[in-house]
Amino acid sequence: MSLAPAILFYHLAAIQGHSLAQYRYARCLLQSSGSSSDPERQRAVSMLKQAADSGLTEVSAATEDSQSRFHLGICYERGLGVQRNLGEAVKCYQQSAAVGNEPAQERLRTLFNVEAAGNASQGLVPSKLSAL
């Protein structure tokens, strides 16, 4: 079964501002894109930002909003469609984690543990990442 019709309908709803469709369309773009500078990835990041910033109030939609923030964080962390920016990634993860998104909470723990291990092995004090 082809996903093309679903992707088309997500796209049509996304360009009309439907935030859940923006999130799902962005996920489709991220899964199908080639290189990290691919215009499709840039469009996906734009859709994730719109979905994350939509200010949804429904419970199921709020879950999608936290997922949008989480995936936006992944884009910033890995440089997918945007310039790599760990600070922005952490902000997105924190916003998503604050509403109970477990993958975002786990990602933050992992990032902080990696940073703490690196600092401890080099005898350094925690950096700005820890302050975020």
Task: Please report, in tens digits, the pLDDT of each residue of the chain (132 residues total).
Answer: 677 888 888 889 988 888 888 888 888 888 875 655 578 888 888 888 888 777 543 444 455 678 888 988 998 998 888 899 999 999 999 989 998 899 999 999 999 887 776 666 655 445 555 444
Query: What pLDDT is recorded for position 77?
Result: 93
Query: What pLDDT is recorded for position 129?
Result: 55
**Which residue in this structure is represented by tokens 């994730």?**
48
Name the residue among 104, 81, 91, 77 with its Cα closest to residue 34: 81
Number of domains in the chain: 1
Residue 32 and residue 108: Cα distance in Å, rounded? 26
CATH number at residue 88: 1.25.40.10
Query: What pLDDT is recorded for position 118?
Result: 66
Q: 60 is in which domain, residue-wise?
A: 4-131
Listed in sequence order, the residues at least 6 apart from 87 whose beta carbon sits closer than 8 Å to its beta carbon are 128, 129, 132
- The number of residues in the chain equals 132
